[in-house]
């Protein structure tokens, strides 16, 4: 994980139900946008390379969040 991404995560707003929904909705929007561009420009990957990167970044953020929440839940159970 890059230092830039860690910085973004550390500056994130506190996690509550609203921010979690916002994060997942943003992931869903990026996923649909990426699919849309891939369908529209199947032979021109340069048209959706930025979308791929944004989708990957959002995916990593969601994945990290899930990992942290699972670890936190594990700690709460066994503490």
Give the range of the structural domain holding residue 29, as residue numbers without chain letter. 16-78
In this predicted structure, what is the pLDDT of residue 10? 57
Say if residue 57 is exposed, middle or buried (CB neighbours under 10 Å; 0-12, 13-18, 19+): middle
Q: Which residues of the chain have pLDDT under 70?
A: 1-13, 73-79
| Structural domain count of the chain | 1
Does residue 6 belong to any structural domain of this protein? no
Does residue 8 belong to any structural domain of this protein? no
Q: Residue 51 gets which letter from DSSP? A: H
- SS (HEC) of 10-54: HCCCCCCHHHHHHHHHHHHHHHHHHHHHHHHCCCCHHHCHHHHHH
State pLDDT tens for residues 31-46.
999 999 999 999 999 9
């Amino acid at each position: 994980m890059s230092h830039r991404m860690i910085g973004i995560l550390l500056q994130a707003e506190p996690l509550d139900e609203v921010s979690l929904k916002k994060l997942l909705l943003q992931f869903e929007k990026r996923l649909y946008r990426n699919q849309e561009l891939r369908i529209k420009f199947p032979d021109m990957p340069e048209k959706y390379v930025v979308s791929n990167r944004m989708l990957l970044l959002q995916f990593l953020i969601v994945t990290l969040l899930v990992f942290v929440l699972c670890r936190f839940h594990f700690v709460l159970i066994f503490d």
